[in-house]
Copies of this chain bind each other. A is one copy, B any other.
Amino acid sequence: MSKETTKAALLEAGRRIFLERGYNASGIEAILQTTGVPKGSFYHYFQSKEDFGLQVIDTFSRAYFADLDVYLADESRGPLERLRRFFESRIERLESQECRNGCLIGKLSQEMADQSETFRTRLLEVFDGWVDRVANCLEQARQLGEIPAHLDPRELAEFWLDGWQGALLRAKIRRDTAPLRSFLKLVRGDVLHV
């Protein structure tokens, strides 16, 4: 494997193993075994397990935001329709994985927020980046009159993403995406009136 490929393979293995077992229960050994990368090589790319964990979060959130940004930049559709299409695409992705995995950021936040100030700060940045993007799109929707003018786009984005995060957790516990579909239906019909 090339250097870039090796590093990417380690980060992808980390994402999958953290999502399944969490951060603390995931040994470096398991990640090396999955990828066939020798230990020395791991420490060539990452200073420590913590450095690796933070880079897994960064890599995941960069990919997530890149995906979200593609939907939000689609000017052939109105802002609310862009959001709807993005969240529907996430439901389809979960369904293709039998809906067992849930959200890496939610999982690591539950596990690490009390244990590491470094992780907590990094995860908060991810939440904030998510809220910023959705709030910006909702602001556009408000300016176009797609949603009631009295709604504050940032508050609404936080409300939306909190509901989505909770629905993701219930979907994981139920092994069923119904909570996510129900959430989208209510937030659109009863909050946004669209």
Residues of A within 8 A of B (CB): 20-22, 24-25, 100-102, 106-107, 109-111, 113-115, 120, 123-124, 127, 148, 151, 155-156, 158-159, 161-167, 169-170, 172-175, 179, 182-183, 185-187, 190-191
| Known contacts A22-B110, A106-B110, A109-B173, then 5 further A-B pairs from the complex at CB < 8 Å, ordered by chain A residue | A102-B110, A120-B173, A120-B175, A151-B190, A162-B170
- Chain B residues whose CB sits within 8 angstroms of the CB of A187 once the complex forms: 159
If over half of A's interface residues share one DSSP class (helix, strand or loop), that class is named, otherwise mixed; here it is helix
Residues of B within 8 A of A172 (CB): 109-110, 113-114
Q: How far is the CA of A175 from the CA of B190 in the complex (A)?
A: 30
Q: How many copies does the complex hold?
A: 2
Residues of B within 8 A of A151 (CB): 190
Which of B20, B107, B158, B163 is the one whose CB lies under 8 Å from A162?
Answer: B163
Given contacts A166-B164, A167-B162, A191-B190, contact A173 B113 (CB under 8 A): yes
Note all chain B residues with C-beta closer than 8 A to A111: 22, 107, 110-111
